[in-house]
């Protein structure tokens, strides 16, 4: 697939390198080796379409003023077979490049040809990447942190797929360890309270207080009665966990699917113990001298690998820590399943986990640069201008299911991706359902629906979108038309940057800009009623806008309605 912006940058780099070589051959510049030539788009239109600061970077080697170097390079540039029309020296020595309009018209031809594949690139070259996200404890409903992490993680995975990576979405099921013991004790207490009275059994101080625990036990009693009332406590807790845990996981799976998230793998923490991989990992670490004993516990020498402090792996009671399971899990990701890169999404309260996890993979012989940990910040919900914490429907903390019922999947996914992961996010529940331009997802979807309506009306009159080869695209010369095409041309590069930075929030901003430029075009440039050649050119442009908006919304797993 084609990234015309990337191609133009490559053209400019090639022109600059050839100009440097020509200037060297003429004795105007010494032979200078440059690893990278930075090409960027200037902020001001009068500074051209692209710019490079190469003249300022080679001042010492060239032994000339940057403005003089820039002038020498410009004089030796050959623009044959490029989109470049001219180059100018500006300011302290910037070289600004001005393109002819043919690149814009080629952009429309590319979109017309590539259609739903437009924007897809191949910087990943099939590299195997795992994105692990949400992975909430299966002991209760999904909350707002999970909702934000889910939208963010799923969109990161989609962006990486569009950039040519072989992506696996994974949910790590924490079905072993302390939280499951606590889950079992909570279930047992509610079970006995329901059968014998609330005062008969004290609820664990650190137990799970959620109403869902009571709901599970009511359902269990309705199905099985008091059969566990006199059972051995350990057996009772195990049976209650075996009953409630799969129900929780199924509820989580269905909730996430209704949110547009479909995992390739649900990986069980318990499987690490059942398969012997956990023990194998601990033995490996001991054999490599990565562990030591202190106060009856086993510690990982994390400080040897860049962490601030060493970490307990096995407690003095013989029970592994959560971190120990995580080390075995990451060994499985990299060594057993051979992922080239692993991306974990974690909430703000996991910030301290980053350094120690990178230290652990380094100790396992894996380049820590292959592990990316994206920390996303907290969410505050607002309704009627006030912070909303409880659901009116259930009287409980607002869950993912509550959110989807109130605002819908499209608004939730879009709004959660409007801010960078490292920024706090205020989610206005009223705005999310408002049918106005203030609501960003409505604004974008309305642009798509408006285009579909226009195309339907024209089709009813026998006017269809023409083939690009049949259109005189040079008729598109109005500022609103040219600005819109330039924005459409940026889409593949937005995919590239989003994939490299793991920030899909770029795409929500981008598609909002496309919608805004389209609305400006729609106001200033008629399609129907114009001379036929211009009408066809504008019709092709409108169709290209529709394609790009839909392609972006598809990546975000948001619907592109044809009627609103």
DSSP per-residue string spanning 458-492? HHHTT--PPPGGGS-GGG--SHHHHHHHHHHHTHH
Res 455: pLDDT: 96
Query: CA 166 to CA 124: how far, in whole Å?
Result: 8
List the pLDDT tens digit at each of the 564 positions of the chain.
899 999 999 999 999 999 999 999 999 999 999 999 999 999 898 999 999 999 999 999 999 999 999 999 999 999 999 999 999 999 999 999 999 999 999 999 999 999 999 999 999 999 999 999 999 999 888 999 999 999 999 999 999 999 999 999 999 999 998 889 999 999 999 999 999 999 889 999 989 988 899 999 999 999 999 999 999 999 999 999 999 999 999 999 999 999 999 999 999 999 999 999 999 999 999 999 999 999 999 999 999 999 999 999 999 999 999 999 999 999 999 999 999 999 999 999 888 899 999 999 999 999 999 999 999 999 999 999 999 876 655 556 889 999 999 999 999 999 999 999 999 999 999 999 999 999 999 999 999 999 999 999 999 999 999 999 999 999 999 999 999 999 999 999 999 999 999 999 999 999 999 999 999 999 999 998 889 999 999 999 999 999 999 999 999 999 999 999
Q: Do residues 260 and 150 touch, judged by C-beta distance below 8 A?
A: no
At residue 177, the pLDDT reads 86
SS3 label, residue 64: coil
Query: pLDDT tens across 270-309, in order?
Result: 999 999 999 999 999 999 999 999 999 999 999 999 999 9
Q: Tell me the three state secondary structure of residue 198.
A: coil
| Helix, strand, coil content of the chain in percent (nearest 5) | 55, 15, 35
pLDDT of residue 351: 86
CA distance 28 to 20: 9
Residue with tokens 């604004």: 443
Give residues with Cβ within 8 angstroms of 152, minimum separation 6. 133, 345, 374, 376, 416, 417, 421, 504
Structure tokens, 388: 């909303």
pLDDT at site 209: 86
Residue closest to 134 by CA, chosen among 266, 242, 245? 266
Residue 519: alpha-carbon gap to chain centroid: 27
> Cβ(172)–Cβ(194) under 8 Å?
no
The pLDDT value recorded for residue 394 is: 58
**Pair of tokens at residue 459:** 């089709």
Full set of structural domains in the chain with CATH = 4-100 (3.30.1360.70), 128-174+261-376 (3.40.50.620), 178-258 (no CATH), 437-555 (1.10.730.10)
Which helix (H) or strand (E) segment holds residue 94: the answer is strand 94-99
Q: Counting every residue, how long is the chain?
A: 564
Question: Scanning the structure block, which residue is given the tokens 């962006």?
Answer: 159
End-to-end CA, the chain: 32
Rounded distance between C-alpha atoms, residue 275 and residue 160, angstroms? 31
* Apex 155 CA angle, 400 and 251, nearest 5: 30
| CA distances to 86, 337, 430, 522, 534 from 436, in Å | 44, 48, 11, 17, 31
> How is residue 501 written in tokens?
């930075």
Rounded Cα gap, residues 142 and 397, in angstroms: 10
- Alpha helices by DSSP H, listed for 26-82, are 54-57, 59-62, 66-75
Whole-number Å distance between alpha carbons of 528 and 534: 10
Buried b (16+ CB within 10 A) or exposed e, 68-96: bbbbbbbebbebeebbbeebebbeebbbb
Distance CA 515, CA 493 (A): 18
What pLDDT does 493 receive? 96
Structural contact between residues 102 and 83, judged by C-beta atoms closer than 8 angstroms: yes
Contact 552/507 with Cβ under 8 angstroms? Answer: yes
Of 460, 457, 462, nearest to 542 by C-alpha is: 457
- CA distances (Å), origin 255, targets 147, 261, 409, 496: 10, 9, 11, 31
* Tokens encoding 92: 């302290």
Structure tokens that stand for 207 in this block: 């137990």
Predicted confidence at residue 397, as pLDDT, reads: 80
């Amino acid at each position: 697939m084609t990234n015309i912006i990337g191609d133009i940058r490559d053209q400019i780099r090639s022109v600059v390198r050839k100009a440097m070589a020509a200037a060297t051959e003429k004795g105007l510049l010494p032979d200078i080796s440059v690893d990278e030539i930075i090409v960027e788009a200037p902020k001001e239109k009068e500074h051209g379409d692209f710019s490079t600061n190469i003249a300022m970077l080679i001042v010492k080697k060239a032994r000339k003023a940057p403005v003089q170097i820039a002038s020498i390079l410009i004089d030796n540039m050959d623009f044959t077979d490029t989109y470049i029309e001219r180059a100018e020296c500006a300011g302290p020595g910037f070289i600004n490049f001005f393109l002819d309009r043919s690149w814009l018209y080629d952009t429309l031809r590319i979109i017309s040809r590539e259609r739903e594949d437009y924007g897809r690139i191949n910087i990943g070259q099939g590299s195997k990447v795992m994105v692990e996200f949400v992975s909430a404890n299966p002991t209760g409903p999904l909350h707002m942190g999970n909702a934000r992490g889910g939208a963010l993680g799923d969109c990161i995975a989609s962006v990486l797929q569009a950039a040519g990576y072989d992506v696996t979405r994974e949910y790590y099921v924490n079905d072993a360890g302390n939280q499951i013991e606590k889950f079992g004790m909570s279930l047992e207490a509610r079970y006995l309270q329901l059968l014998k009275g609330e005062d008969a059994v004290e609820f664990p101080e650190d137990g799970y207080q959620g109403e869902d625990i009571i709901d599970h036990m009511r359902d269990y009693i309705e199905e099985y009665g008091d059969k566990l009332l006199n059972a051995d406590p350990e057996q009772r807790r195990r049976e209650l966990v075996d009953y409630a845990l799969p129900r929780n996981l199924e509820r989580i799976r269905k909730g996430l699917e209704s949110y547009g998230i479909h995992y390739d793998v649900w990986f069980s923490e318990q499987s690490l113990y059942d398969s012997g991989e956990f023990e194998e990992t601990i033995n490996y670490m001991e054999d490599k001298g990565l562990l030591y004993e202190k106060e009856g516990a086993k510690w990982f020498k994390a400080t040897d690998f860049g962490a601030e402090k060493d970490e307990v792996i096995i407690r003095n009671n013989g029970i592994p820590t959560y971190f120990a399971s995580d080390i075995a899990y990451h060994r499985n990701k990299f060594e057993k399943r051979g992922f080239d890169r692993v991306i974990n999404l974690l909430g703000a309260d996991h910030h301290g986990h980053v350094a120690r996890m990178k230290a652990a993979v380094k100790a396992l012989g894996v380049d820590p640069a292959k592990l990316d940990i994206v920390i996303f910040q907290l969410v505050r919900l607002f309704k009627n201008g006030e912070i909303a914490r409880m659901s009116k429907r259930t009287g409980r903390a607002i869950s993912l299911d509550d959110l989807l019922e109130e605002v819908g999947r499209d608004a939730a996914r879009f709004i959660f991706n409007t801010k960078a992961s490292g920024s706090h996010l205020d989610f206005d529940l009223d705005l999310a359902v408002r049918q106005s331009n203030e609501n960003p997802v409505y604004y974008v979807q309305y642009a798509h629906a408006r285009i579909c309506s226009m195309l339907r009306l024209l089709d009813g009159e026998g006017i269809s979108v023409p083939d690009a080869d049949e259109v005189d695209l040079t008729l598109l010369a109005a500022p609103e038309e040219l600005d819109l095409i330039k924005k459409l041309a940026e889409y593949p590069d937005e995919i590239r940057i989003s994939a490299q930075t793991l920030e899909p929030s770029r795409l929500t901003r981008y598609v909002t800009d496309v919608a805004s430029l389209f609305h400006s075009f729609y106001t200033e440039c008629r399609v129907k009623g114009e001379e036929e050649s211009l009408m066809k050119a504008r019709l092709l442009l409108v169709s290209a806008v529709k394609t790009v908006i839909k392609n972006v919304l598809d990546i975000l797993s948001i619907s592109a309605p044809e009627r609103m």
